[in-house]
């Protein structure tokens, strides 16, 4: 039985005493994104557990993500539904923003699909019905999710869904939606609708397409559109190339077909302001739509044994904003299937701190960006330790060591003292640093024939 929900008016953001970081005890990491970390937080006063999303201000400013953070908070502020994750508190400190959200103990719906392989139709019907109910509520509040996928659908303690991740949502009745961006889209490749790829247009009907992809994935354990890379996936979507497994029931086959209609106007539920047409489909025959969040979900089957590496997910990275004009030009050349609450004001003035001489080495441009560690830890952080093969006396102009690079070959350690002698003598050029192949070659040559590098024997 689902636990009773508190009075919304009493728990609305801003109606309770202001919370700070000191009011919470933080435990394990629940998830990590491109500019955020979600940690399990416990209110020290009530003992209530929450999912605390910690957003790094420095990364938000640097990567120009302020707009999406604003959209996420403004969207959460206008939503209050038992099947949608809820924002309880929001606060900040000098380095981070904190969103205190509902804690879903059973993780992502994708994990359930992976564990079961595919769900029986009775389970898929119940979970799709909850997703449809949540999406219908979003649309009634002027919100288009734009990134519906099993990774963004959580399961709470009673195995009911919680729709989450509104950073790329579109507020259709608000200026936060902003003007459409040329040569860009938001979403995850395997779930984007064809009109988004060809016309760069998005509305509530794009969420209906994603519902079709999710139903297909619930029943089969795999995605309807999945190529070797994003471009091939987009080709499949634009050409409407997918097959429905033979074990789908006639009702399931029909609903998937109507949701995955290439023409947005032909999708079931696209005509009316709500999703009554979807709810009336024979696939949901016999389902009681009243208070789904209070019903007991159908028992789940035993987990399926692993049969090989998982290849049905979209991506492990949640960086869903794609800007690629060349990609869109190639896609538009393909034949199209013609079938039936703002952030605090002081965030804008937040400036990035200037590096000091005691900072760790700067990551080179060729290296992947390092994700900022969580700002809150339960134990003091370990001091930064230089690797044994790191030169402690480089000049500032030649500093190019990256902690993401692999250590040099075993021979390099034996030449460490030779490296220091060469560097102090000024004979090792900036283009032949000791952690590059040129540097290692110069060091070996210097040990065999010192006159080559000009060092004294």
Taking the whole predicted model, whether its pTM rises above 0.75 is answered as no
Beta-bridged to residue 170, according to DSSP, are 144
Phi, psi of 143 (to 5 degrees): -120, 125
Q: Where in the chain is the domain with CATH 1.10.510.10?
A: 109-173+181-293+318-332
Q: Please tell me the predicted confidence (pLDDT) of residue 181.
A: 44
Starting at the edge strand found earlier in the chain, the sheet holding 87-92 runs 24-32, 36-43, 49-56, 96-101, 87-92
Tokens standing for residue 180: 């459409």
Tokens standing for residue 78: 């206008």
| Cα dihedral: 268, 270, 273, 276 (round 10) | 0
Please pick, among 43, 56, 93, 147, the residue that the annotation labels catalytic. 147
What angle in degrees, to the nearest 10, is found between the helix axes of 204-220 and 121-140?
A: 170
243: number of Cβ within 10 Å: 6
The CATH class that applies to domain 18-101 reads alpha beta
213: number of Cβ within 10 Å: 26
Q: Where in the chain is the domain with CATH 3.30.200.20?
A: 18-101
Determine the Cα–Cα distance for residues 31 and 83; give it in Å rounded to an integer. Answer: 20
Beta-bridged to residue 29, according to DSSP, are 39
147 is catalytic: yes
Q: In the CATH scheme, what architecture does the domain 109-173+181-293+318-332 have? A: Orthogonal Bundle (1.10)
Tokens standing for residue 57: 């201000």
Determine the Cα–Cα distance for residues 269 and 259; give it in Å rounded to an integer. Answer: 8
Tokens standing for residue 232: 């091939």
Phi, psi of 144 (to 5 degrees): -105, 120
Phi, psi of 46 (to 5 degrees): -100, -20
What angle in degrees, to the nearest 10, is found between the helix axes of 416-425 and 437-448?
A: 90
53 is in an annotated binding site: yes
Q: Please tell me the predicted confidence (pLDDT) of residue 299.
A: 93
| Cα dihedral: 154, 157, 161, 167 (round 10) | -40
Tokens standing for residue 313: 């997910």
Write out residues in the chain with pLDDT < 70, as ranges.
1-17, 174-185, 304-457
Q: Please tell me the predicted confidence (pLDDT) of residue 202.
A: 84
């Amino acid at each position: 039985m689902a636990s009773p929900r508190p009075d919304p008016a009493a728990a609305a953001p801003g109606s309770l005493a202001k919370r700070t970081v000191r009011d919470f005890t933080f435990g394990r990491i629940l998830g990590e994104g491109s500019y955020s970390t979600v940690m399990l937080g416990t209110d020290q006063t009530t003992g209530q557990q929450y999912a605390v999303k910690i957003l790094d201000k420095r990364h938000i400013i640097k990567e120009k993500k302020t707009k999406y953070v604003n959209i996420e908070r403004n969207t959460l502020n206008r939503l209050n539904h038992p099947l949608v994750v809820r924002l309880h508190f929001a606060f900040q400190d000098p380095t981070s923003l904190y969103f205190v959200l509902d804690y879903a103990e059973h993780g992502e719906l994708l994990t359930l699909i992976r564990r079961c392989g595919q769900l029986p139709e009775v389970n898929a019907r119940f979970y799709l019905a909850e997703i449809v109910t949540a999406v219908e509520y979003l649309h009634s509040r002027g919100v288009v999710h734009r990134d519906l996928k099993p990774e963004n659908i959580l399961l709470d303690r009673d195995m009911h869904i919680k729709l989450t991740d509104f950073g790329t949502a579109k507020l259709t009745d608000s200026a936060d939606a902003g003007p459409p961006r040329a040569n860009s889209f938001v979403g995850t490749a395997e779930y984007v609708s064809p009109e988004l790829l060809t016309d760069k247009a998005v509305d509530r009907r794009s969420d209906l397409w994603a519902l079709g992809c999710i139903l297909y994935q619930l029943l089969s354990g795999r995605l309807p559109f999945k190529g070797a890379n994003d471009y091939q996936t987009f080709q499949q979507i634009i050409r409407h190339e997918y097959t429905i497994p033979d074990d789908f029931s006639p009702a399931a086959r029909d609903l998937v077909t109507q949701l995955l209609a290439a023409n947005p106007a032909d999708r079931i539920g696209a005509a009316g302001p709500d999703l009554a047409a979807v709810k009336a489909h024979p696939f949901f025959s016999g389902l009681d739509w009243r208070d789904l969040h209070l019903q007991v979900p159908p028992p789940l089957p035993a987990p399926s044994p692993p049969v090989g590496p998982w290849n049905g997910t979209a991506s492990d990275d949640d960086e869903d904003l794609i800007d690629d004009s060349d990609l869109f030009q190639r896609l538009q050349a393909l034949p199209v299937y013609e079938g039936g609450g703002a952030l605090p004001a002081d965030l804008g003035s937040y400036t990035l701190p200037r590096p000091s001489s005691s900072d760790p080495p700067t990551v080179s441009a060729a290296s992947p960006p390092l994700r900022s560690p969580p700002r809150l830890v339960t134990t003091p952080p370990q001091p930064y330790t230089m690797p044994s093969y790191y030169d402690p006396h480089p000049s500032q102009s030649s500093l190019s060591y990256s902690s993401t690079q692999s250590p040099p070959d075993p021979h390099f350690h034996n030449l460490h003292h030779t490296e220091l002698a060469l560097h102090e003598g000024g004979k090792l050029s900036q283009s032949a640093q000791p952690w590059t192949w040129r540097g290692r070659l110069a060091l070996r040559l210097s040990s065999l024939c010192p006159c080559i590098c000009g060092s004294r024997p």
